[in-house]
Amino acid sequence: MEFNTIIEPFRIHSVEPIKMTNEVQRREIISKAGYNIFNLKSEDVMIDLLTDSGTGAMSKNQWAAIQHGDESYAGSPSWEIFRSAVTALFPFKHVIPTHQGRAAEKILFSVVGGNGKTFPSNTHFDTTRANIEFTGATALDLVIEEGTQPRTIHPFKGNIDIDRLERLLRELGPDQVPLVMLTITNNSGGGQPVSMQNIRETREVCDTYNIPLYLDACRFAENAWFIHEREHGYDTQSVPDIVREMAGLADGMTMSAKKDPMGNNGGWLALNDDQIAQEARTLLILTEGFPTYGGLAGRDLEALAVGISEAVSHDYLKYRIASTQYLGDALDKAGIPVSCRSGGTQFTLMRGPGYAT
């Protein structure tokens, strides 16, 4: 039977009108933009597939949380609500809020980076790579071979190559490798997921050489969903439990809350190391703000707290991945190249237009 998309698990509660254009107008608009989509005015774009980063609609409970936000400079209750929501899934000792993901990266790598250091990953996202290289350090991508072959079908094409990682850590050791990073899902590699087994094996190699493991966890909920769907033994586990297991294998994380945490802005750095956390908070104050709000308003902290818990809903993730697959298959049938047929993220543009608002 032909695959059909599934019913979205929400009602649309407000709508944003879009400007309708015809092909002739669109050709003119894109020509004027020099064929660079970043030069387009968003009002001229009928279907905006540029990114889902921070562009999605918030749920009614997120909007309600905005009203609940407390804008006290220090010690706002909104901070506690945010911190509890983060640690419910990612039980790290220190949570440091930032205005978006790259600010968390900038702070982390300013503390641990520098000339002569090397940071291996499955694939660094471009801002992560830039923040590493800006300190004089080297960013190294070690994704498995299948992850570099767009047409190869493999359930976890975001996995890091454990043998190459092991050889590297043996050669360089903890003085030159301050941490290993896993991007889940592997966004720059087509949004491909990383298996729990691969995270566990990465942890074991890191332990052998006494090197911490960090997650770039922007798509944590999708990654957990793929583990739930594809990895032996996880079909009976809840997504929140899978997220906690992933987090439990790591020493810290960076997060862009503009992705799975359903925010229009936000991010955080979370970690267990007291010394790094102290230095990170000092840098935070220079560019982001006081440690109980970072770069965020109290209302943003509260909206994110709700988004984090809504992002791990099974019904929602099932819908999100199914509609992504539907789009991918339709594009494939139409002969349009698709780079991530078995992964999720690049097509997770579907959450935007109507998530429960």
Ligand X SMILES: Cc1ncc(COP(=O)(O)O)c(C=O)c1O
- Smallest distance from ligand X to CB 126, Å: 8
Per CB under 6 A, 258 contacts ligand X: yes
Other CB atoms within a 10 A radius of the CB of residue 88 amount to 15
Per CB under 6 A, 348 contacts ligand X: no
Here's the x/- map for ligand X, 21-60, by CB under 6 A: it reads as --------------------------------x-------
**Stretch of 83-91, 94-102, 141-149, 172-180 contacting ligand X, by CB under 6 A:** 94-102
Euclidean distance between CA atoms 242 and 225, whole angstroms: 8
- Residue with smaller CB distance to ligand X, 10 or 129: 129
**Stretch of 21-29, 98-106, 242-250, 334-342 contacting ligand X, by CB under 6 A:** 98-106
Helices 220-230 & 314-333 angle (0-180, nearest 10)? 80
Residue whose C-beta lies closest to ligand X:
101
Give the residue among 198, 188, 136, 190 at the shortest CA–CA distance from 166: 198
Other CB atoms within a 10 A radius of the CB of residue 321 amount to 20
Quickly list H helices, 187-345: 196-208, 220-230, 239-248, 274-287, 298-310, 314-333
Here's the x/- map for ligand X, 172-211, by CB under 6 A: it reads as -----------x---x------------------------
Euclidean distance between CA atoms 124 and 188, whole angstroms: 7
Q: Are strands 118-121 and 138-141 parallel, antiparallel or unpaired?
A: parallel
Judged by CB under 6 A, the number of residues near ligand X is 14
- Residue with smaller CB distance to ligand X, 18 or 249: 249
| Residues 6 or more apart whose Cβ sits within 8 Å of residue 348 | 52, 191, 219, 222, 320, 324
Per CB under 6 A, 256 contacts ligand X: yes
Provide DSSP, 123-137: ---HHHHHHHHHTT-
Per CB under 6 A, 216 contacts ligand X: yes
Chain residues binding ligand X by CB under 6 A are: 53, 100-102, 125, 127-128, 183, 187, 216, 218, 256, 258, 267
